[in-house]
């Protein structure tokens, strides 16, 4: 017997597969793959070259996302396919870039 969580993820994967690859689709997959808590403390920007830029709320959240990156990347690949998100770049949102 398959769990409800696994069934839901499988259904989402099927639904996402039929949709065009857009930034909104990738952000939706991030929200599912990262979970509710990490989704609330991040903002994502995806580019068509396969880079997902994740802006964490602060340095503490950036570290937590770094730790979870392998699991999240695996989930993203399951939901979107191997070549949609090739690189995940995680930045601390409290630091302003020059």
Q: What is the C-alpha to C-alpha distance for residues 98 and 67, in angstroms, rounded to an integer?
A: 26
CATH class for the region spanning 4-92: alpha beta
pLDDT digits (tens, 9 = 90+) for 20-57: 899 999 999 999 999 999 999 999 999 999 999 999 99
Q: For residue 79, what pLDDT band results from cuts at 50, 70 and 90?
A: very high
Q: Residue 10: what pLDDT?
A: 81
HEC sequence for 14-53: HHHHCCCCCHHHHHHHHHHHHCHHHHHCEEEEECCCCEEE
Q: In terms of pLDDT, which residue wins out, 5 or 54?
A: 54
Residue predicted with more confidence, 98 or 80: 80
Domain ranges of the chain: 4-92
């Amino acid at each position: 017997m398959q769990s409800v969580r696994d069934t839901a993820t499988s259904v989402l994967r099927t639904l996402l597969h039929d949709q065009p690859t857009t930034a909104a689709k990738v952000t939706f997959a991030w929200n599912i793959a990262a979970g509710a808590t990490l989704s609330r403390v991040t903002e994502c920007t995806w580019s068509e070259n396969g880079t997902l830029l994740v802006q964490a709320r602060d340095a503490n959240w950036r570290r937590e996302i770094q730790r979870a990156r392998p699991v999240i990347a695996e989930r993203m690949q399951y939901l979107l396919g191997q070549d949609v998100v090739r690189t995940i770049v995680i930045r601390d949102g409290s630091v302003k870039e020059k």
